[in-house]
Structure formats: structure tokens, C-alpha cells
Structure 1
């Protein structure tokens, strides 16, 4: 009986050992894989529209190409030609009323300032007198023409009357042109200065009671904030390296990225500076903002490069957030050299993607938050 008990115990122990040592099934592997932390997988998505991303401080940029010749240029955001108007009063006088304030939106023809001008009153009087003279000359010409047709006056007399009529009409046209140039003042000399363009009032130089003289007639400035461009100053050697159509990325205040395309390159001025103008391809900073740009000349046929901020470590793998549809997808990448705020992408991107640049870390934090909520 003692021997039988020993044999039974050994059998139970061997069976338990076999059970504990048997290979894990497929379901066990799945549970273990779900439990442990893995690497970033392509396709991991974060739902966020471009508008939501912009509101959160995330900029969306295109993948750039390194190589070629690169230039770093200082610059500024400026109004495009014709987008800003310095409005002068057409003649001197005393300011009666200022109709607008700084920041007001105006349309073409909106009243800016009303002034009372003796010169305006005189021009209106001249125009009215010329109109009366021209009307009298036309009546005289009609009378003499009738008399000529009836044989009472000669052709020479009719020719003199017709000439006087034409002279009076010419003086009337000149008088009306002066009135129009003076802003069409009334008989009392009141003249309304109006905005020539649509935009925002950026400066007011007149106040009620102020007397405007010929040396200082400016009353306001109006600019269209939507019509802006990027203006850079380049050394003379840059003229041979740049061409219209080259792409650039400029940085505002050290963080925000504004992309653009070169539209004009002026010859070096007397100071030896080449002015480079570019058209923003996306949302730009307000006029007056200081920017610095890196211009890739010659089309940029080198390796793919992105800002350092665009590459985030997601679950231990360098990754970028690629904008696709109404969200961002995690795309693992292989990085190369890092220089001057940009990192080389060796693989993982095609170069046609639009990715999160400045603020990409916010997407990483949002992704981690979503995974934590999913875990709970």
C-alpha cells in the first residue's frame, strides 16, 4: 500500500509539471501581446480635422527636399503692391469730422474725413459759373443758326458764335474736372475724403479742427490685410542662385512655419542688396511680422527633410504624424542626419505627404491620452 501511494504521488506531480510546461496556445500569445508595450504601428490614427489642429497650435507642412544650394535670409511680412493706400486730402482746409477709427473695415468710397475748404468752394463756384456761360453760349449759337438759315446773318457771324460756344463748353469741362479732383466739394466748400480701396484703416492722421496745408495733407491709411507677401533681403551672390518658382519655408517668431513661392527677384540696389518677394502658399502672419527663411535653390533634388519638431518618438520608434482625410496617422520613419533644425528622412515617407510640423508633440500627447482612456 505504501508503494502504491508513492507511485500515485509521482504520477500526479509529473502530470502537473507537464501541464505547467506545455507551450502557450495562440490565444495566450494574443493576450500577452495585448498586455505588453509594442512598437509604433503604421496606421495608428488620431481623429482631428485641419481646423482643429490649427486651433490647437499644430502647423501642417509639406515634406521638403534638402541638398542643392540653401540660403538663410532675413525678411518681413509686407503688404502686396496696391494693397495699401496712403489717403491725402485733395486740397487744404479745416477738418470738420473724422468718420472712421483705427481697425474699421471700409469699402471703396467709404467716407474717411470731411473738411471745409475755401479752395473747394471757389472751384465749385467756377464750375457753376462755367455751366451758366456754356448754357448762354449754346443759346446764342442756336439763335444765330436760326437767323443764318433765314438769311438774316452771314456765315462768318455764325462761325464766331459757334466758336464761342465750343470755348465755353471746354471751360466747363475743365471746371468740372477740377471739382472732381477736389473731391466734389459743395457750394459751402465741404469736401468728403473717401477710401480708394477696400480694407482696414491702419492709420488716422487727422482730427476735428485740424487745418490741413499743402505740406501735410495725409488724413488716413487703408490696407487690405489679405493681400500680403514675404519680402527678403539677399546678398548679391544670391541673384545667380535664385529663380522664380523656388520654394521656401520661413519661420515667424522662431516657431510658426510659413511656406511660400518666389515670385520676383529685383536686381541688386545701390546698397548691394537683392530684394526677393514670395507669395505665401498658406496662412501667413500679419503684415509687419519679422520672418527668417531658408530658400532651397535649384528645385531641391536632395534627400527628404522635415523640421526636428515633426519627428516624435511613439512607443520607442521615430515617427511623424501624416495628415490623411480628417485625421493624422502615425508613420514610423528612419531618420538620418540632423542639422540646422531639420532632420533627414531616409525611409518611411514618399515626399508627397503633408505632416504635422510645429506642435506635433501635442498630437503625440493626445494619442497617448486616447490610449490611456482605452486602457481604462
Structure 2
């Protein structure tokens, strides 16, 4: 049987029949797919355009009015010019201004008592230590007895002379006897004087056994103890700072030495403390050490508890004064190019200005060059500014 003859009129889907109906359906389906793809592409392009517009809007510079409104507020000062001290700094050691070494001035002997300790204040002539003197005391008593004996002889000679003078008028005694008795009386008086002098000498020798302070001052050291035998070769037994006056021996460079004069004010700060002791330069070295090219400046200072001879200290000496702008430390910046400040120009824009820094003190930083003092200078936060940046200046209030 031939089945194909029964299905010959049923053409498969998608295949063109004799009347062309299958070809038309395929064309319609293709157009639908193309329109979908085109729509999707258009939607994607619109989305990309919207994203680009949002991004560009965020990065678009604000209007000038907005930039002014967002400019940072900075505090500015106009310092003018102030009197600024020129200061020389140095380091050195502390010592007694007049250090008096005290030793044995007499014969010496065994020390029986030591009456002072380091740190004690003593008066002129005060006994510091006592040396044993039993033998000298007996010698003093013997000489005192000789004085009394000589005085008795002198008294007797004077009485004999007086009686002779009463009898000479009656002719019982010649003038020669009077002369002899007068000479005897004078010799007796002379022996009294010699005995007194010998007694005084011995008392002085005995007194020299006491070790005494030659002047009032502060005891610095003690190198003697009871029982110790001392003599002329014992060396220094005590050291006393005359009047308690101290000084600092400051080492100053050759260049700074030329600017200092006797009488310049100075402030000394001992190491390890915060005390600032006022003093004055009382001597400037006439020579410079050839090894370190430094000279010695001696600064007189009064006694203070923080001042100890032999200690280390720093000093600032005022060598003169001048006028310069004085800025707070927060206003001065520094980088690889040097020190600088930010000033606000007439257009309210930050402008860098290089400066030369002078003396730095508690009052501030002096500016040697770069400023006149009439500029509007950024007092702080200069590190956060850039040259040409727009700012809102606000003048600092007077303290």
C-alpha cells in the first residue's frame, strides 16, 4: 500500500506548502525576536546613560558661591613688631664662686672634736675642729706665772726707786744711786713686757690649733674625723663657699663669646630640676681654647637648694635686644625647604611665605626675616592648608 498518497497534503511545520503559508509564519517570528533584542539594547543604553549622568553630576565642580561657602575658617593674627632678646645658650658646671680650702695653720696634733658637717652655714672665725692641746696649755700657764714674777720684780724696783728719790734731797743717796735704781726699774718693766709677749705668742700658737673658718659661708666638704692626727702636710680638711655664692662655668662658642659682656642677664637651670635661677655674667674669658674653640663665661648666681657645686646645668644669657615679629609656635611650619608660614592675601587665599626663625622662647618664635608683622598670618592649622586655597580669615581675639 502506498501511505504517502494519503498524507501528501499535510506539509511539516516550517516547510513551505504549495500556497506559501509556512514561509510567512517563519518571517513573523524572526521579526519578533529582532524587536526584543533591539528593545533590550535600548534599555541597556538608557541605564548606562543614567549611570554616567549621575557620576558626572557628582564630579562636576560646585558653583563659585558654593566654594566660598565651604572654605575653611582660619584664625589669623597680625603680630606687628615686638622687642625680642637675643639669647646665647650654653652648658657647663656649677662651682663655688670663692672656694676656700681650709687646713692646719699651726703645729697640729690629734683632733678631739669636729663641730660642723657639709651643708652647715658658718660665721667668720667659727671653730670647725679642735686639736688636742694639753702640752700647750701647760706652757701657757708657765708663761703666765713668769709674767706675774716679772711684774713683782718691776713693782719692787719701782718702790726702791721711789724711796731713793725721797732720800736724795737729804743727801743720804747720791744721784748715781738714783740712776742705777731707775735702770733697775726699767729693766724689770722690760722683763714684764717680754714675759707678756711670750705669753701672747704661746696663746696664739695654742689658738692656731683650732681649725677656723676664715670667712662666713657654706661648708662644702669635710675631710677630718675625731682621733685623726693632722699637721702641716695634711692638706685640705674643709672647703667652704664664701658667702654661699655660686657660679656657673659656661662653655660658649667662639662666635657667641664676642656678643657677651660683663653684666649681661642670665638664667641658670640645673640638670634634673625645673628651678630657673637668675644671675649675671661677671667674667668673660679673654682667651679661647685651641682644642674645642670655646671660651669660659662665669655666671654669678645666689645660693639655692637646687644648686650643687660639681653639678651640670644649662644657661641662657641675654646678649642684646631688637625688634622682630613674634609668632606662636603653632604658626611656624617646616619642611625640606625650610621654615615657612601661611599668610592670607587680599583675595582671602592662603599663601606660603618662607621665613628665617630666630630665638625660640616661652613668649613665642621671633622671625628674623620674611615678615614685616603687618601680614595676616595663619595662627594654627597651617599644615592642613595648600597654597592658593580659599579660606575665611577670622582675626584672633586679644588675650
Question: Structure 2 length normalisation: TM-score?
Answer: 0.49
Cross-structure match for 1:288: 310
Question: Which runs of structure 2 are paired with 1:1-376 in the superposition (5 Å)?
Answer: 64-65=85-86, 73-81=90-98, 84=100, 86-88=102-104, 90-108=106-124, 110-117=126-133, 120-121=136-137, 123-125=139-141, 127-150=143-166, 151=168, 152=173, 153-183=177-207, 192-216=210-234, 218-223=236-241, 226-232=244-250, 242-253=260-271, 256=274, 257-265=276-284, 267-268=286-287, 275-280=296-301, 285-297=307-319, 300-303=320-323, 337-338=356-357, 343-344=365-366
Pairwise CA RMSD: 4.9
Report SS of the residue matched to 2:322: coil
Report SS of the residue matched to 1:302: strand
Question: Residues 100 and 40 from structure 1, CA distance in 2 versus in 1: closer, same or farther, beyond 3 angstroms?
Answer: farther
Question: Residues 180 and 294 from structure 1, CA distance in 2 versus in 1: closer, same or farther, beyond 3 angstroms?
Answer: same
Q: Please give the alpha-carbon distance, in whole angstroms, between the structure 2 residues aligned to 1:163 and 1:238.
A: 73
Report SS of the residue matched to 2:147: helix
Give how far 1:164 is off.
4.1
Give how far 1:124 is off.
2.0
Give how far 1:162 is off.
1.0
* CA distances 1:146-195 after superposition (whole Å, capped 9, x unpaired): 134223532244134314423431442343144234327xxxxxx64444
Cross-structure match for 1:30: none
Tell me if structure 2 keeps the 8 A contact 1:94–1:115. Answer: yes
Structure 1: tracts of 5 or more residues without a match: 1-36, 42-61, 185-190, 319-334, 350-376
Tell me if structure 2 keeps the 8 A contact 1:91–1:120. Answer: no
Question: Residues 64 and 192 from structure 1, CA distance in 2 versus in 1: closer, same or farther, beyond 3 angstroms?
Answer: same
* CA distances 1:37-95 after superposition (whole Å, capped 9, x unpaired): 99699xxxxxxxxxxxxxxxxxxxx96235xxx5x6553322233x6452536331112
Question: Residues 287 and 218 from structure 1, CA distance in 2 versus in 1: closer, same or farther, beyond 3 angstroms?
Answer: closer
Q: Please give the alpha-carbon distance, in whole angstroms, between the structure 2 residues aligned to 1:91 and 1:211.
A: 11
Aligned pair count reads 262
Q: Please give the alpha-carbon distance, in whole angstroms, between the structure 1 residues aligned to 2:76 and 2:156.
A: 97
Q: Please give the alpha-carbon distance, in whole angstroms, between the structure 2 residues aligned to 1:202 and 1:84.
A: 10
Report SS of the residue matched to 2:224: coil
Higher Cα Rg: structure 1 or 2?
2
Report SS of the residue matched to 1:100: coil
Q: Please give the alpha-carbon distance, in whole angstroms, between the structure 2 residues aligned to 1:267 and 1:213.
A: 39
Structure 2: tracts of 5 or more residues without a match: 1-72, 78-82, 334-353, 374-399
Question: Structure 1 length normalisation: TM-score?
Answer: 0.51
Q: Please give the alpha-carbon distance, in whole angstroms, between the structure 2 residues aligned to 1:124 and 1:64.
A: 66
Report SS of the residue matched to 1:88: coil
Give how far 1:116 is off.
1.2
Question: Residues 243 and 65 from structure 1, CA distance in 2 versus in 1: closer, same or farther, beyond 3 angstroms?
Answer: closer
Q: Please give the alpha-carbon distance, in whole angstroms, between the structure 1 residues aligned to 2:118 and 2:155.
A: 53
* CA distances 1:273-320 after superposition (whole Å, capped 9, x unpaired): 8654333389673333223445454xx1434699xxx9565xx899xx
Question: Residues 302 and 182 from structure 1, CA distance in 2 versus in 1: closer, same or farther, beyond 3 angstroms?
Answer: farther
Report SS of the residue matched to 2:207: coil
Q: Please give the alpha-carbon distance, in whole angstroms, between the structure 2 residues aligned to 1:129 and 1:207.
A: 35
